[in-house]
Amino acid sequence: MILPIAIVFFAAFFILFIQPVLVYFLDKKHLRKFPAPAYAGLSSLWRISHNLRRQHYQAIHNAHQQLGTHVRIGPNHISVSDPLAMNDIYGHGANMLKEGFYDGGAGEFRNLADARVKAEHQRKRRMLAHIFAQKTIVSLEPMVRGTITALVEQVDKHAADERPINLRRYMNYFTIDFFSQLVYGESLGCVRRGNDIVTAETKDGKVYQVPFIKSLHEAMIMNTALAIEAPLLPITKKLFKWHPYARSGLDYENVIYHKTSKRLQKPEAQDDIFAKFMKSMNSDPGMPIGEVLAECSVLMNGGTDTTAAALTNTIYLLYKHPATLRKLRAELGDAIGDVNLPSYDQVSQLPYLRACIEESLRLRPASSMGLPRIVPKGGRVIAGKFIEEDVTVSVPTYTLLRDPQAFDEPERYNPDRWIDGDREKMSKAHLPFSTGPRACIGRNIAYFEQLLVIATLVHSFDFEFESPDFKLEIAERFNSNPGEMFVTCHRRSQ
Ligand code: HEM
């Protein structure tokens, strides 16, 4: 008994302490020439510890501010904070594949976001691309308006009862309801109930209730923290199976399983994304049910968490800046008059509304983390510096969106920069949805939701924070999630 324990201890000691030192000093990939904060060049624990504190983006940002554009943030990872690197790493011709990091949340079947093999990704992207094309999205207007109506009713109720409303939660309830309708043809009803408690179901038929947001967030912490040290995932995933956050991951998957099983019992034609999956399941070769579950899972995750953050951030910044709010209200007043629920046609071309949304995506990006890719054979020059093959590289989104060469006074909230600034210069760095073949597929839908929800709330309601010095937290898991945001609300007299 003592011998196996000793072997496990020695193996762990070697992996954690001896091997990183050997790799560091042998420096086969010539990475020691890149500056690194603290012990980041020796061990992934530097990034993991910042990730567990939910402030990974800030640590990377500070490192770039102190050390320059090319920074070693892990034993095999160079972060490059330069707009040129976006094309070098993520552009169509770059041919850099997603790194092992994306195995963190992957199950037996890959989804669109965690597929790492190019051909597999292209097949999936082709299947889903037309669903998220602008033309299709405009047809979703009745669905989104129904959910906005429910949201407005809730804000009115809170106003009538003089009860503060946690807008961060309601923005998330909104995106969950909208996306469950979009994917499964049926809302999860979170906005109307005022909570995110939904039904989950295990594969052996046990049905139970779970909080959607907590399950997803805890799963994201676990997956991201372990994925940072990707080569160890086959071991760490097993080691941490007992952890409550791993259980939360199962809860989230069981929510998807329940919705999927219910939807499969209604094979009659419905106008939802699932109908497209059913068609693929019935074709030859049929799409396996495991893959359907994986795609539903990523859509309910990517489609809800990021947009909820973007909506919350935009409202926060607007109500923190009364002059900007007044200017936006003037634009909305001219465009929609005394209409309570504007149409997409009325708001889609409003320049100041769009400017406020862009500025919020820039200053408080929902996705802040550098998205890791592998340098292909032969190595590559990235933003002017040669990096060897098989090194992981990324562009830190949070830092890129504050690039002082692209944005004047980058820390300042200034939507006007999108009206009278140098848009061409800014667009090279303003990439909150990434770029190239793996850029966000849901970008159009995210703008569509934001234009309608922000216009409606700003036009109809006054919100007041708990205190004038209220600051909205950012907690980065994989996405950067805003903290709770309680406000008192009143109908505006227009
Ligand atoms: C403000 C809202 C959003 C932001 C800031 C955002 C950001 C991003 C970013 C940065 C990526 C690249 C991820 C990577 O390379 O690992 C991405 C990919 C993706 N996003 Fe979004 N996203 C948003 C909304 C949405 C929505 C509404 C959906 C729903 C369909 C969605 C689904 C996806 C999917 C499936 C991918 C993977 C695409 C691929 O690899 O081909 N996102 N998103």
pLDDT digits (tens, 9 = 90+) for 312-328: 999 999 999 999 999 99
pLDDT at residue 246 is higher than 80: yes
Type of residue found at 182: L
What pLDDT score was predicted for residue 137?
86
Q: CB–CB of 393/372 below 8 Å?
A: yes
**Is the CB of 438 within 6 Å of ligand 1?**
yes
Instruction: Note the pTM of the prediction, 2 decimals.
Output: 0.96
Ligand 1 touching residue 86 (CB < 6 A)? no
Q: Does the annotation place 489 within a ligand binding site?
A: no
**SS3 label, residue 355:** helix
Q: From the CA of 319, how far away is ligand 1's center (Å)?
A: 27
pLDDT for 494:
63
Q: Report the C-alpha gap between 130 and 276 in whole angstroms.
A: 11
% of the chain at pLDDT higher than 70: 100
Does residue 445 line the site of ligand 1, with CB under 6 A? yes
Cα(186) to centroid of ligand 1, in Å?
22
**Substitution site in 178, 360, 440 for ligand 1 pocket (most atoms within 8 Å of beta carbon):** 440
Query: From the CB of 179, is ligand 1 less than 6 Å away?
Result: no
pLDDT at 493 exceeding the cut of 80: no
Ligand 1 closest atom vs CA 298: 35
Q: What is the pLDDT of residues 12-66, one digit of tens each?
A: 777 777 878 888 999 999 999 999 999 999 999 999 999 999 999 999 999 999 9
Residue 250 near residue 206 (C-beta atoms within 8 A): no
**In terms of DSSP bridges, do strands 461-465 and 486-491 run parallel, antiparallel, or are they unpaired?**
antiparallel
- The residue whose CB lies within 8 Å of the most ligand 1 atoms, and thus the one to mutate among 306, 393, 398, 449, is 306
0.90 surpassed by complex ipTM: yes
Copy the structure tokens of residue 282: 């019935």
d(CA 14, CA 23): 12
Quick check: CB of 310 below 6 Å from ligand 1?
A: yes
Instruction: Give the model's confidence band at 85: pLDDT under 50 very low, under 70 low, under 90 confident, else very high.
Output: very high
- pLDDT, tens digit (0-9, with 9 covering 90-100), for 359-400: 999 999 999 999 999 999 999 999 999 999 999 999 999 999
- Residue 184 CA to ligand 1 centre (angstroms): 19
Nearest Cα residue to atom 3 of ligand 1: 306
Distance 467 CA to ligand 1 centre (A): 34
What are the residues whose beta carbons fall under 8 Å from the beta carbon of 3, sequence distance 6 or more?
none
pLDDT, mean of residues 65-86 = 98
Residue owning the nearest CA to atom 23 of ligand 1: 306
Nearest Cα residue to atom 37 of ligand 1? 113
Measure 456 CA to ligand 1 centroid, in angstroms: 24
Q: What is the Å distance from ligand 1's center to 306 Cα?
A: 8
Query: What is the pLDDT averaged over residues 115-140?
Result: 91
Residue partners of 197: CB distance under 8 A and separation at least 6? 209, 210, 211, 212
3-state secondary structure of 422: coil
Which pair of structure tokens corresponds to residue 123? 């097949």
Interatomic CA distance for residues 29 and 76, integer angstroms: 8
Q: Report whether residue 440 contacts ligand 1, using a CB cutoff of 6 Å.
A: yes
Distance 433 CA to ligand 1 centre (A): 6
User: In this structure, what are the phi and psi dihedrals at residue 61, rounded to the nearest 5 degrees?
Assistant: -60, -45
Q: Which tokens is 337 given?
A: 């008059």
The minimum-distance atom of ligand 1 relative to the CA of 121 is: 41
Ligand 1 site, residue 113, Cβ cutoff 6 A? yes
pLDDT tens digits for 453-475?
Answer: 999 999 999 999 999 999 999 99
SS3 61: helix
Q: Residue 1 above 70 pLDDT?
A: no
Say which residue, 200 or 280, is predicted with more confidence: 200
Q: Compute the distance between CA of residue 256 and CA of residue 297 in angstroms, rounded to an integer.
A: 6
Identify the CA nearest to 175 among candidates 479, 463, 448, 469: 448
CB distance 310 to 363 below 8 Å = no
Can you say whether residue 454 is alpha, beta or left, with left for phi > 0 and alpha for psi between -120 and 50 degrees? Answer: alpha
Query: Which residue's CA is minimally distant from atom 7 of ligand 1?
Result: 433
Ligand 1 close to Cβ of residue 432 (< 6 A):
yes
Determine the distance separating the centroid of ligand 1 and the alpha carbon of 283, expressed in angstroms.
Answer: 27
Among protein residues, the one with the nearest Cα to ligand 1's atom 6 is: 433
105 CB less than 6 Å from ligand 1?
no
Residue-wise pLDDT for 182-192, tens only, equals 999 999 999 99
Distance 113 CA to ligand 1 centre (A): 8
Q: Determine whether the shortest distance from the Cβ of 431 to ligand 1 is under 6 A.
A: no
In the reported structure, the alpha carbon of residue 340 is separated from the centroid of ligand 1 by a whole-number distance in angstroms of: 30
